[in-house]
């Protein structure tokens, strides 16, 4: 399923269980007192950041999420059990929006936010007994669970991103730098979706490097380009094909025009020439020159990235 960074879901807490009306009946006790138990509270719905989930695509089909009901009260003062909570796993980086307000940003694995309360449990007739009221027939039914529409927006917690025109060598570079298995192909826009790989510094700290395609050959953000995912990147690496006969300055300007609205103002920038070892390559415009096939410049680029991030 295509990478999905936005979803609307409906969440509903479980219904509270009803209070019970019951009187104690035993052969030797003619007038047993009231013994109807209370209903259990309905379960709540909780969103939890889970590393197994990488985007919001499952919510295209899984729209309604309802927590279990509380159990009804019963005779002999038995209270109904509370409904268990419904855990809805979401990808780390999920922003939770309700009525236009962000109510949570679930970044770390295990971060959680309750989004729908369970209904109150009902009250059994036993609870209404008093010195003046020895045989109450009053009970309270369980209350409804809270219901809401929630918007989920994914902003991936990526540290650095490779961007650039189609066919500029982003995927090949992601693979050379991180070993991630990616689609590398000799035709433009071979990568349609964001791809990721890990980068580890010498202290063992892991960073996420992303390949964010998204520009077309004109430098325009294409539909479903997902360049919004740049929002949290601290380092943006602009890849430019050094072996392309069209002047690099023109291609850089074209790509920058499309990228400008997406690049966070305080992000560190790096201009990288790719295909540096190809015939006729001109790398004079770049901060770093690399060749993903021969490996030229790759260790240097990795060091530059890690020093910018740490």
Residues near ligand GTP, by CB under 6 A: 166-172, 184-186, 188-191, 213, 274-275, 278, 291-293
Task: Using the minimum distance from each CB to Mg ion, give the nearer residue, 22 or 191.
Answer: 191
- Tokens at 303, concatenated: 């060091």
Residue 292 near which of Mg ion, ligand GTP, none (CB within 5-8 Å, type-dependent): ligand GTP
Q: Interface residues for Mg ion in 156-215 (CB under 5 A)?
A: 171, 191
Task: Using the minimum distance from each CB to Mg ion, give the nearer residue, 80 or 166.
Answer: 166
Return the bridge partners of 239, or none: 272
Task: Using the minimum distance from each CB to ligand GTP, give the nearer residue, 115 or 156.
Answer: 156
Rounded least distance, CB 92 to ligand GTP, Å:
25
For position 283 contacting Mg ion by CB under 5 A, the verdict is no
Q: How many CB atoms lie within 10 A of CB 89?
A: 13
Give the span between the Cα atoms of 197 and 187, in whole angstroms.
22
Rounded least distance, CB 191 to Mg ion, Å:
3
Rounded least distance, CB 208 to ligand GTP, Å:
17
Task: Using the minimum distance from each CB to ligand GTP, give the nearer residue, 74 or 291.
Answer: 291
**How deeply is 265 buried, as exposed, middle or buried, from its count of CB atoms within 10 A (0-12, 13-18, 19+)?**
exposed
Task: Using the minimum distance from each CB to ligand GTP, give the nearer residue, 7 or 255.
Answer: 255
Rounded least distance, CB 153 to ligand GTP, Å:
25
Residue 189 near which of Mg ion, ligand GTP, none (CB within 5-8 Å, type-dependent): ligand GTP
Rounded least distance, CB 251 to Mg ion, Å:
16
Instruction: Mark 270-296 as b/e (b = at least 16 C-beta within 10 Å).
Output: bbbbbbbbeeebebeebebbbbbeeeb
Rounded least distance, CB 185 to ligand GTP, Å:
5
Give the span between the Cα atoms of 231 and 107, in whole angstroms.
14
Give the span between the Cα atoms of 234 and 159, in whole angstroms.
5
Task: Using the minimum distance from each CB to ligand GTP, give the nearer residue, 132 or 284.
Answer: 284
Three-state secondary-structure class, residue 96: strand
Give the span between the Cα atoms of 39 and 136, in whole angstroms.
17
Task: Give 59's contacts (C-beta < 8 A, 6+ positions apart).
Answer: 4, 7, 8, 9, 152
Residue 166 near which of ligand GTP, Mg ion, none (CB within 5-8 Å, type-dependent): ligand GTP
Residues that bind Mg ion (CB under 5 A): 171, 191
């Amino acid at each position: 399923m295509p990478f999905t960074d936005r979803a609307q879901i409906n969440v509903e807490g479980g219904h509270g269980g009803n209070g019970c009306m019951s009187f104690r009946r035993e052969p030797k006790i003619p007038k047993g007192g009231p013994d109807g138990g209370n209903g259990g509270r309905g379960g709540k719905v909780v969103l939890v950041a889970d590393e197994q989930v990488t985007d919001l695509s499952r919510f295209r089909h899984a729209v309604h999420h309802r927590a279990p009901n509380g159990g009804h009260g019963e005779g002999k003062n038995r209270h109904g059990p509370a409904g268990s909570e419904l855990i809805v796993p979401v990808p780390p980086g999920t922003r939770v929006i309700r009525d236009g307000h962000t109510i949570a940003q679930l970044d770390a694995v295990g971060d959680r936010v309750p989004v729908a309360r369970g209904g109150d449990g009902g009250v059994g007739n036993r609870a209404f007994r008093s010195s003046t009221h020895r045989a109450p027939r009053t009970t309270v039914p369980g209350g409804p669970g809270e219901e809401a529409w929630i918007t989920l927006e994914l902003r991936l917690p990526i540290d650095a991103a490779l961007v650039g025109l189609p066919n500029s060598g982003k995927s090949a570079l992601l693979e050379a730098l991180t070993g991630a298995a990616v689609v590398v192909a000799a035709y433009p826009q071979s990568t349609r979706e964001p791809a990721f790989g890990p980068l580890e510094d010498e202290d063992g700290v892991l960073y996420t490097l992303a390949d964010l395609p998204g520009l077309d050959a004109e430098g325009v953000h294409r539909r479903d380009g997902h360049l919004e995912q740049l929002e949290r990147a601290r380092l943006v690496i602009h890849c430019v094909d050094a072996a392309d006969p069209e002047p690099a300055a023109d291609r850089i300007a074209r790509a920058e025009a499309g990228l400008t609205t997406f690049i966070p103002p305080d992000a560190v920038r790096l201009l990288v020439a790719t295909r540096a070892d190809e015939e006729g390559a001109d790398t004079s415009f770049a901060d770093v020159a690399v060749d993903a096939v021969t490996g030229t410049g790759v260790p240097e680029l990795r060091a530059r990235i890690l020093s910018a991030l740490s």
